Structure 1
């Protein structure tokens, strides 16, 4: 692929990232991305033979951004595991609330299930980091199971917060108390 082809491929992904941020995952059609990129509606197929491949390339950008934020939040990794888990949880929830369209796209089952698209290679390192920190915080437990439950809890908080349900039910004006409670539930109070 020469530089101009690589440039067009990146431009299509850039347009998709912008489109999902502005209008949500449902707006990500090949035709709309091509239109906004200023190319024919068939042009994206040269670089992304299927719609899922283009969506996966866009979602990979979201996972890369989330990973960068997570790395920045945990610093050099020397803080106690619970502090790092609190930082990861905060970053995850901030990303989910602030980038709802991208967040929705990133966790689409059809994208994650399709192993040949390589999205799991981008998403799994975040979970591996979560498992490692949970293992340090809870050496008595099956770290993968506890990490999975914690992640599911955070995902639920993100979804319900985004819909406004948690604010209504709890009266909370920020998700921080819910994050603390989730950490307490999975790691023990003050673990």
Structure 2
């Protein structure tokens, strides 16, 4: 078999394993992601994933990269639209919360500490550019503050809202049927009132 055919075939199987992992995490959550189950659903031997992903964490990182790519694609129209930085931060924050709500398994996988810390497949480098864009926008809204810290605090707030909303805790505590009022409160807390002080 020509080398290019083998390479294309190997690339195809690697991509298929990731695709199956993405489908599995969407259907059953991050806890369902085992090498054996991904191999079974991909129609290959249970040892086949190890040819492309020597460890389970490397396969999970590749699947999580798809999540970050998806989140980035959802954020792109907000960022490309330009305009008022505060409105962009609000739209970006809503996009983030909607992604977390609509993709709970992927969202959980994307922020697993062991994947981010392990440096698998540059996952940290995949996740940081979007934060950099958020920090830039926050800096334009609040030039009086350390933009990275303010953006980090806002992100932490959004992450907490996403997790607690998914668990049902915030709906129970606030009585809100949508996370919109919580998002508005977080933006006010971190960006100050609209129109400045």
Which TM class, normalised by the smaller chain length?
over 0.9
User: What number of residue pairs does the alignment pair up?
Assistant: 190
Question: Aligned runs of 1:20-169 on 2, under 5 Å?
Answer: 20-77=25-82, 79-169=83-173
Give the secondary-structure state (helix, strand or coil) at the position aligned to 1:41: coil
Q: Which residue matches 2:13?
A: 8
Pick the structure with greater CA Rg.
2
Tell me the distance in 2 between the aligned counterparts of 1:144 and 1:31. Answer: 41
Query: TM (normalized to structure 1)?
Result: 0.97
Q: C-alpha separation between the residues in 2 aligned to 1:53 and 1:115?
A: 9
Q: Measure how far apart 1:74 and its partner are.
A: 3.0
Q: TM-score, normalised by structure 2?
A: 0.94
Secondary structure at 1:75's aligned position in 2? helix
The structural deviation recorded for 1:115 is 2.0
Tell whether the 8 Å contact from 2:57 to 2:120 is kept in structure 1 after alignment. no
Q: Distance in 1 between matches of 2:163 and 2:48?
A: 35
Gaps of 5+ in 2: 1-5
Unmatched tracts of structure 1, length 5 or more: none
What is the CA RMSD across the aligned residues, in angstroms?
Answer: 0.9
Structure 1 stretches of 4+ moved >6 Å: none
